[in-house]
Structure 1
Amino acid sequence: MKKYIFISLVLFISGNMLLISCDFSKRLDTRAAVKEMKERELKRITITQLTTIVDELGKKITGELNGNLVRSLEDRKLIDSLSKKYNIQIFVGSPLKLKTASNGQKVNEILEAYQYNSENHIEQVDNVQKNEDGTLFYYTAPILAENQFKGLPKEKIEKLGELSKLDSLYFRRKNELIGLWMIRFERKEVIKRIDPKTLNK
């Protein structure tokens, strides 16, 4: 009888120790998971933060496109590569030719402003504009004349204009507007590029 009680007691103590050990491990895992979730949790993201990211990416992308403008307009490989890399859509053309109903009123008003500035010799600058429901951001950057087409045959210059929906590329004064790069970002894709640790707590 005593032997039976002793064995039962040993089994009881061993079982409890095992349960305590398992429970402790679970609590440790839970705490680690909660900590990880808190570290990765995105705080409330402001429009200013989103706009800043779009502006930085837009400048980087158009910098690559303008690095060899003729190649970018003639061969879409770079445009397609950048579009895939950043999950964006890249458009090029004169302001009025870029206007579409799908852009929304706010974006089309920006395009009209570029056209107005061009006609009135007003300085052109980069711009970031979100659409009406805030699901899309449009980065626009002027393409200014800097002798990019110097030395090219007339036929090739005309072909570049047709391919890229640009107005006449002839007799352009330095810094005159040739056209625009317009990059469309999805809000959800921009958010994916935000590191939660860089956001204000």
Structure 2
Amino acid sequence: MKEILRGIALAIVVFGCDLGSRVENTKELNKEIKASQIKRVTHTQLIYSANEWGKKIAQITEKSLEDQLRKNPSEANVLCTDLAKIPVVAALEREYGVQIELLGMADLKNPKLAAKEREILDAYVYSAKNKSAAGDNLQQLDDTLLVYNAPLTAESLICKECMKSQDVPFAVWRLLFSKKEIIRKLDAKQLKN
């Protein structure tokens, strides 16, 4: 009788442990199914979503980097060049499928950037030199990519710490979105017509 009870107890423990992983797998599967649904997304909806996400991501990234710079000012070089070392930024990149970078004057000649991006960056530099306000910008680079740029103020801690060697205090967030990832992440029920 004791052997039967031990066997039943062992089965309950094994089944209980397996149930937890099944629930986790089910959540992941539901998330994947939802992302794979066929959706009709207009160009306007795509641009609106990228613009809203860009604003939100730039604000969160700026706050996270400033917090890290205040906590660890000696690590400014590492933090400014490798934003993925900041857990919040790494999480945003994974969640939204976005590439987040901080650009400065040196990037005017960066061959990695598209010609259109370098022109926009040049306009931001011109605004910074003339101490005029420049706003956020969303551009379509090609059929698959969108880039969101958000300039930082010259008084920003990030400009002061990350762009020390520049003549003009200037920095711009560069958020590179894949249209495919935006569409994949959109909830079909929440799309505005």
Do the two structures share a fold, i.e. TM-score over 0.5?
yes
Superposition deviation, residue 82 in structure 1: 1.9
Bigger radius of gyration: 1
Pair 57,42 (structure 1): closer, same or farther in 2 beyond 3 Å:
same
Q: Output the CA distance in 2 between the equivalents of 1:138 and 1:52.
A: 13
The structure 1 residue matched to 2:118, chosen from 104, 108, 126, is: 108
Amino acid at match of 2:134: Q
* Cα root mean square deviation, aligned: 2.8
Q: Is 1:53–2:62 an aligned residue pair?
A: no
Q: Output the CA distance in 2 between the equivalents of 1:71 and 1:99.
A: 30
Q: Is 1:86–2:82 an aligned residue pair?
A: no
Unpaired segments ≥5 residues, structure 1 = 1-39, 150-156
The structure 2 residue matched to 1:141, chosen from 142, 150, 157, is: 150
TM superposition score normalised by structure 2 = 0.61
Count of aligned residue pairs for this structure pair: 141
Q: After TM superposition, which residue ranges in structure 1, 4 or more long, deviate above 6 angstroms?
A: none
Pair 98,135 (structure 1): closer, same or farther in 2 beyond 3 Å:
farther
Secondary structure, aligned partner of 1:103:
coil
TM superposition score normalised by structure 1 = 0.59
Q: Do 2:64 and 2:89's aligned partners in 1 also have CA atoms closer than 8 Å? A: no
Unpaired segments ≥5 residues, structure 2 = 1-36, 70-75, 80-84
Q: Which residue of 2 aligns with 1:70?
A: 66
Pair 99,41 (structure 1): closer, same or farther in 2 beyond 3 Å:
same
